[in-house]
Structure 1
Amino acid sequence: MYSGQPAAAKELWRTPRNFYSVDREVSIAKRLKNLTHARIASLLDQTWKPGQSDAIDLYILYSPLSTSNFLALYKSKASLDTRTRLFTQVLEGIAFLHENGITHRDIKPANLTVRSYDPPDAQIIDFGCATTETKTLYDRPGTIPYLAPEQRDGQYHDLSVDYWACALVGAELIGLKRNNERIGDEGLKTIHSWLDQQNSNAVVKSCRAMLKVEPEGRMTAEKVLEEYLDPYRGDMKKGSKRALDAP
């Protein structure tokens, strides 16, 4: 497939142990291709190969290609306003996924790309852990520091795990420093105490609302957008500074 667009190629290996998850990712990518949204990386092709001799079992192409992610955003000198707008866009993407029956299950800074700082332009990528099931028995998806309390062996979880992970990303976005361990009871108390010490702003309020132990207590992405982030929604009509050019 030749579209003229820069794209990101993801290599997928099918093995007896992972063929189900690989096929699930391709299925969800195809589904998203027909559900376009500005905050979701779109599928270009799931059959492309760079050459006949290549040993990789499968490639899927996503576009547009992004040059940065939230890990770089954390370290940048981007303003609180820019950070809040990018965070808002992530929640818009999550709300869209959930509206269409998809739970991402691996929200983390590396899976949140920044295509531009001016105007702010973020996208969600990598649907390797995503599911369309409303209740899922924990099958070890996700990344340990962002796992919700209910993501444990023998327990079921639902789309609210995305809200928990978004809350942790939001807190890190405004300065929270933590290790790469899973959040336990004491860690959660520490984070809430840290949030209480920050100047009250839209991101702080959003994080408090989503970072709840009980899944049913977490505010949904759509509700957070309505309650706290509505002023930051919509595209900004500014320049076109690339993420690589950000301070």
Structure 2
Amino acid sequence: MKVVQHLGASHAWRLERGVLDDGREVFVKTGAVSALFTSEAAGLRWLGEAAAVVEVIEAGPDRLVLSWVEAERPTPVAAERFGRMLARMHRAGADGFGAPWPGFIAELPMDNAAAPDWPAFYASRRVLPFVRRAGALSAGEVAQVEAAVAKFPEISGPAEPPARIHGDLWSGNVMWSGGTGVLIDPAAHGGHRETDLAMLDLFGTPYLDRILGAYREEYPLADGWRERVPLHQLHALLVHVVLYGDGYRGQLMGAVERVLRLG
């Protein structure tokens, strides 16, 4: 492979654009990141059984080679296609809550061990571990998050089977190409489908109303899903507090307050 462009760095890895011997363009991540790249590759291949994802060409402990995706401007039609595709991916399901590969979000490890139901998985594998890492939170704020966690069983809505979810589906992890959204950088696992939809809402996604409308036509959502959006955003906001500190504390605690009012 020949490197043709250095694209800088992201978190703990370097980014490059390359060309393979057969002429294919590729996107390359390099770095000493333990099992992160092989975990990402496993998630992409799993999601790719039911959705458009970036193709994995090579994955190892210090390098991940992916197909190059030529980006386009999003359109309402592409957003609707993406919404329907996302619904089908979720409906493809998972064997349980969790995944058989190590979990990562950015460079942070996550426990993907199975749990008996989604509220237990979300509390013990996602929210509480990151509360313990969030040094920017005061003791009182930690207590508020823990009070919200205690409510998970009663406010999570009707029980649903494990969905095949991306797990970190903010707008930057959707590339618009080929008339639809292509998934990149997953934290894939068996989870709750509302989590992916709440992530799309967290930092804004183009034509989100079209995505959600098409999604709901394909796979209707349970009553109360809009009110549960802050519940499903808690983990992502905690991750941002861990990574970036005090700047996201206010947004996190606002979501916690809304969760405490549920039910």
TM category (shorter chain) comes to: 0.3 to 0.5
Scaled by the length of structure 2, the TM-score of the pair is 0.40
TM-score, with length taken from structure 1: 0.42
> Whose strand proportion is higher, 1 or 2?
2
